Structure 1
């Protein structure tokens, strides 16, 4: 493509900053370069577009190296009143044309994206005005007849329709959850009450999900104010009963835009005074403020933003004057393209509904999962469960783990226990997995027995990978009969799935197994059928990415290659996604294996770039990528052949990937799945013929599958699902981390 024909793309960040914006900018630049385009950064948002000059300049491949892990936006952002005027937009058009730019990636919020669409609509007229003024020639105008735009939402509030998550929301939720966890420990020590104010304006996502993740006792959100007129007395009564039942602390989360049914603001200070006056509580207020948008982005915000930026460039390359602009978003791990202005209109409809006090409509517009989460939270914060409904049989439901420990297991148990108890059923805890059923190591679990479990990592019930066989099955059947168990919830990994399938298959021999059982996916390896993400995998990914950040800081002081070994068994999810989120040059995975040719190509590329000033190279290796080409072997090979060009170090992360408190995503996912599992067991408990099942999120929605279908959905020999959605992302990682220069040299 000649210089005159070369597509020139501008990328800008506008409005409030959000962690993950830099990952999107990096993806736009490198994808554009790899597709033969020239990419320009427009510094300081629309203000930079109006001022022009040095605020619009080209970015090279290396210019966006080392920004993936940084918070904020390296190209700056600003509010621009000038762009709201036609004169300002005409000046912006002139500055873009001075660089030959007629394609824009706009990363921002509602106002930024609306402004971009207006700019696109006015473009032909603005161009003609510039021709009439003599500022551009007719030939220039002819070469740039239309402006192509694509939008990506950067907003920590997660307040935009058309995408499940906006850039920065997951990171903000991490900050909020970390704060609630930290405050919870000091609150319990002193038996205090804390009121925590979070951001959100007209969107209660951060407040609600932060409250669920942090195990808070009450939440105020803009979309659903307290329904009762004297809500002050109600909240005080609930918190009083909670203390009476044994809670040592109370945590109330307030969204900054919270209000009552009459539209009057509900402030954190108002709640503080209320609780002090009516309960005599020692109450403190913590306003998290801008700490919520600061700091390094989470693993999710890195890989999601990378995918959005990559797709945005592909969209711009193929755009036409007739094609309406699109928003690039994400739905259940899949990148989507949705008409931009439809998303803007739908987003504003929620704000309008809240302002007009149409709260039922506001909740409906937020989506079904948001409403379900709010109702679930209402159940979890009750001081005691509701009594059993008249005429309904009380069920004995057993809960256990199996497989390796995964962060989020305890969250799922807490939710399952409280939801089952709130329906009036008995919950039996089983210690140490199916071994507990073999040895009758069982105990009753009540409402307060899981207090504080929402935030705990590990597995308080204990777990192991033992798969029962032979006489073990007889002992399990006896235990089920002796304790009159009516249903089993297994929260765990592949060993648990195999065992439940075995019990289901042996029903014709052991009638005791003819009870409903359901498997909830919990495994850091993300290797389970029927679910695109298992509980614990997001936490493990964050642990890996945080470790790699530290490794990279130590490596850039000298020329080094790091080979980082991660877990995953025979599933490459952690290797591939951590590579995408950290900017690794290569992810070695069991699905693709490792060949000597792969190692030779990687070595040649490293030598080429280290010889031209490169300071860091990063390789991620799954623990079972190849039995011969081990991490140690690869390090030795690179060290020997690299000579004096670079040093080589290995980092085997080991079990730190399984440790730590669960991420907000894992807590929320565990909550939603546990609620549905308990509901399923209760529904099945009413039937004479029961089923064995497993649950997960698949193709954008929660689904329940039959255990008999498990063999066809799994590659049993390698203990991984046949459908691995993430494998399609390997090409994206390659595009963004392997420049073609050395192959052309």
Structure 2
């Protein structure tokens, strides 16, 4: 008998669960296994019968962009009992299932591991009671489990992100952005309560992404006197020119006596100390609902495929695994380690060791707490001196959403350390012409959620004649360090400056280089600022064209940006549920198109009503989107119609996604920290963002050594590891 895999969603629902279910079903079929959906979580396993349903390829069509979970979920009290677990084991064995993928939170995964360990004991008891046969017991001697964390709270240690967290942040930041508008209009204070009973990730990250003034986290109860401190911070913000005040509180926040800090309690404090009647918004289950973000779709898909591989490879001695992500790549951790590390956080809070609780969340969480404390102030913590050194910031290259957050955090982090900050206007041409101005703390107020680049940017790489004037601008303005933020043109410019340091002494200053490009075509950093926003725009466009085709038989060829890099078309195809992806790295051949046309015609003759191909703008010089669309339609002979859709420059516009705002915040803060250290120590090194470096920045030449300059993309493209994932999920076994 073929291996049988069960998949269930358990506990609270989370956006992206359906993407994981779809991936598990289709990857399982590709691996030659049978896949069964266990409806309503562990409660469905206990009830058995119709709650355990065989899943085919088409059963998971059209669910990728749906929120919630189509196979249902429940919090089962009966599963906590011995008889409930015994019945679950019995029903799994009767259906021939001894490999299980559980998508749920801490409680669901902990309970699943416990059942895994007790499986042999339960099997023996069922045989003795005559509820299963000895042959069935021999066929299923142990249970293999892989867990995917489905939780909007991001409360599991062992994975950078849990399924649903990114989508929840989208809901929250959209609400905070909207609330900020009305709060600013009326000079009001709003208190926004978000989910997070034991984990403050949502509150912290959305406070940073939304530019909030104050936040309360379960892991970091405020010290006595927090009421006066909060009022002081809000008052300084208003004195500095802010018209609105936003406070974000996690639902599990409490003071050091264990008393809950609720939105109502904060409202009462403000009323008593300031006389202001703050408004309250409790977002509630809106955070769980809605369409999953692009990140939650492709991340859950990649993890689902890996989970299938792991349970099929596992044996009797295999420890249940948690399948998650580290630095945007799939990563597996022993489930027991992740669960124990997660529970230690609550233990630290109960013991009053709040610093340990924050550190237990991971270095990324700890760093973001430090950054937030700096950003939430209304003034620098260090007063400027007459002889303060000068740091300039500059964008370079094409526009990328999130550039303003990079500039905002860089300016405030520099001012907070006592430096004078200057903005070079208009990118490299501004450096050449000397268009530079000093910027203050308030100059970057309100930039967190804005698209565009307030300081300006241009696609321009200097020629040799420009270098002298660039050096003169730095010299005449007494610039001691430079932060450059941008795409390919930024990397090419700074590399040229480094090569010319001997000729131009003004270039012998510390320079930090950060990636900001929707193309995500830069080395050593997995997601450039702007790439996630562009990807969400693509996926949203795909969702809309899918709806537009719902009343007719239609194929779409969607063209994305990305130039010579396949990040956007490949990830857009995975997150959008496409059948084909044409990438610049692989090109397009006539032979390939012939095969694709045959598959397209077969799909519509077999009952399909929609077909989607996603292609990068430079996938082929000759076979453009228009050419492919006409070819597809010509060979259909009226069976279907074909439309092409060029997503275009809207990929560069709009408000940056929460992911991009947070990414920009971390990068800019770490860059200023590096420049600060260099200036203090008297060094003048060129560094660039690198996820492989301890301080997230490495020597520029180490980073650009991974750059394929001819093709304007990294030599190592981590997302190409997802190409086999796409190929598995887009075509049934046996399809070319």
Q: TM-score range by the shorter chain?
A: over 0.9
The 5 Å alignment of 1:279-358 reads 279-358=274-353
Cα displacement string for residues 297-323 of structure 1 (whole angstroms, at most 9, x for unaligned residues): 111100110011101111111111111
1:130 equivalenced with 2:132 (yes/no): no
1:438 corresponds in structure 2 to 432
Instruction: Note the C-alpha offset of 1:131.
Output: 1.8
State which of 608, 628, 633 in structure 2 corresponds to 1:634. Answer: 628
Query: Comparing 102-111 with 213-222, which one deviates more in the overlay?
Result: 102-111
Runs of 4+ with deviation above 6 angstroms: none
Query: Comparing 502-511 with 420-429, which one deviates more in the overlay?
Result: 502-511
The 5 Å alignment of 1:104-503 reads 104-227=100-223, 229-388=224-383, 394-503=388-497
1:736 equivalenced with 2:732 (yes/no): no
Q: Separation in 2 of the partners of 1:707 and 1:326?
A: 37
Q: Separation in 2 of the partners of 1:123 and 1:547?
A: 47
State which of 44, 57, 64 in structure 1 corresponds to 2:60. Answer: 64
Query: Comparing 322-331 with 187-196, which one deviates more in the overlay?
Result: 322-331
Mapped contact 1:21–1:72 kept (Cα < 8 A):
yes
Helix, strand or coil: the match of 1:697? coil
Cα displacement string for residues 132-188 of structure 1 (whole angstroms, at most 9, x for unaligned residues): 222222111111111111111110010011111111011111111111111001100
Helix, strand or coil: the match of 1:454? coil
Mapped contact 1:608–1:742 kept (Cα < 8 A):
no
1:724 equivalenced with 2:720 (yes/no): no
Cα displacement string for residues 365-424 of structure 1 (whole angstroms, at most 9, x for unaligned residues): 11122111111111111111123488x951111111110110110001010111111111
Q: Separation in 2 of the partners of 1:421 and 1:261?
A: 32
Query: Comparing 137-146 with 72-81, which one deviates more in the overlay?
Result: 137-146
Q: Separation in 1 of the partners of 2:733 and 2:229?
A: 65
Instruction: Note the C-alpha offset of 1:273.
Output: 1.4
Mapped contact 2:690–2:703 kept (Cα < 8 A):
no
Q: Separation in 2 of the partners of 1:333 and 1:536?
A: 15
Instruction: Note the C-alpha offset of 1:259.
Output: 0.9
Q: In the superposition, relative to structure 1, how do residues 161 and 708 fare at CA in structure 2: closer, same or farther (>3 Å)? A: closer
Helix, strand or coil: the match of 1:302? helix
Q: Separation in 2 of the partners of 1:457 and 1:478?
A: 31
Q: Separation in 2 of the partners of 1:424 and 1:327?
A: 44
Q: Separation in 1 of the partners of 2:553 and 2:395?
A: 45
Cα displacement string for residues 653-695 of structure 1 (whole angstroms, at most 9, x for unaligned residues): 0001111111111111101110111111222223555112211
1:713 equivalenced with 2:706 (yes/no): yes
Helix, strand or coil: the match of 2:623? coil
1:680 equivalenced with 2:704 (yes/no): no
Q: How many residues align?
A: 736
Helix, strand or coil: the match of 1:666? helix
Cα displacement string for residues 73-95 of structure 1 (whole angstroms, at most 9, x for unaligned residues): 00000111111111111111221
Mapped contact 1:263–1:357 kept (Cα < 8 A):
no
Q: Separation in 2 of the partners of 1:261 and 1:22?
A: 39
Q: Separation in 2 of the partners of 1:468 and 1:344?
A: 53
Mapped contact 1:196–1:286 kept (Cα < 8 A):
yes
Instruction: Note the C-alpha offset of 1:741.
Output: 4.4
1:6 corresponds in structure 2 to 2
TM-score (norm 1): 0.97
Q: Separation in 2 of the partners of 1:676 and 1:130?
A: 58
Mapped contact 1:428–1:443 kept (Cα < 8 A):
yes
Helix, strand or coil: the match of 1:565? strand
Mapped contact 1:215–1:454 kept (Cα < 8 A):
yes
Q: Separation in 2 of the partners of 1:69 and 1:450?
A: 36
Mapped contact 2:384–2:419 kept (Cα < 8 A):
no
Instruction: Note the C-alpha offset of 1:355.
Output: 2.6
Mapped contact 1:16–1:77 kept (Cα < 8 A):
yes
Q: Separation in 2 of the partners of 1:546 and 1:368?
A: 33
1:562 corresponds in structure 2 to 556
Q: Separation in 2 of the partners of 1:282 and 1:497?
A: 50
Query: Comparing 614-623 with 703-712, which one deviates more in the overlay?
Result: 703-712
Instruction: Note the C-alpha offset of 1:293.
Output: 0.6
Q: Separation in 2 of the partners of 1:489 and 1:342?
A: 40
Helix, strand or coil: the match of 2:160? coil
Helix, strand or coil: the match of 1:518? strand
Q: In the superposition, relative to structure 1, how do residues 423 and 643 fare at CA in structure 2: closer, same or farther (>3 Å)? A: same
Q: Separation in 2 of the partners of 1:8 and 1:739?
A: 18
Mapped contact 1:19–1:72 kept (Cα < 8 A):
yes
Query: Comparing 445-454 with 431-440, which one deviates more in the overlay?
Result: 431-440
Q: Separation in 2 of the partners of 1:237 and 1:142?
A: 69
Mapped contact 2:670–2:696 kept (Cα < 8 A):
no
1:29 corresponds in structure 2 to 25
Instruction: Note the C-alpha offset of 1:128.
Output: 2.1
Q: Separation in 1 of the partners of 2:345 and 2:728?
A: 38
Instruction: Note the C-alpha offset of 1:639.
Output: 0.6
Mapped contact 1:412–1:670 kept (Cα < 8 A):
yes
Q: In the superposition, relative to structure 1, how do residues 492 and 321 fare at CA in structure 2: closer, same or farther (>3 Å)? A: same
Instruction: Note the C-alpha offset of 1:280.
Output: 2.4
2:503 corresponds in structure 1 to 509
Q: Separation in 1 of the partners of 2:687 and 2:353?
A: 40
Q: Give the unaligned 5+ runs of structure 1.
A: none
Helix, strand or coil: the match of 1:686? helix
1:571 equivalenced with 2:565 (yes/no): yes
Mapped contact 2:164–2:296 kept (Cα < 8 A):
yes
Q: Separation in 1 of the partners of 2:675 and 2:682?
A: 13
Q: Separation in 2 of the partners of 1:708 and 1:155?
A: 40
Helix, strand or coil: the match of 2:710? coil
Q: Separation in 2 of the partners of 1:202 and 1:307?
A: 27
Q: Separation in 1 of the partners of 2:704 and 2:303?
A: 34
Cα displacement string for residues 607-665 of structure 1 (whole angstroms, at most 9, x for unaligned residues): 11210101111111100001001111100110101112221110000001111111111
Instruction: Note the C-alpha offset of 1:450.
Output: 0.3
Query: Comparing 191-200 with 98-107, which one deviates more in the overlay?
Result: 98-107
Q: In the superposition, relative to structure 1, how do residues 636 and 514 fare at CA in structure 2: closer, same or farther (>3 Å)? A: same
Helix, strand or coil: the match of 2:613? strand
Q: Separation in 2 of the partners of 1:613 and 1:341?
A: 46
Q: Separation in 2 of the partners of 1:191 and 1:523?
A: 35
Q: Separation in 1 of the partners of 2:27 and 2:470?
A: 56
1:658 corresponds in structure 2 to 652
TM-score (norm 2): 0.98
Helix, strand or coil: the match of 1:67? coil
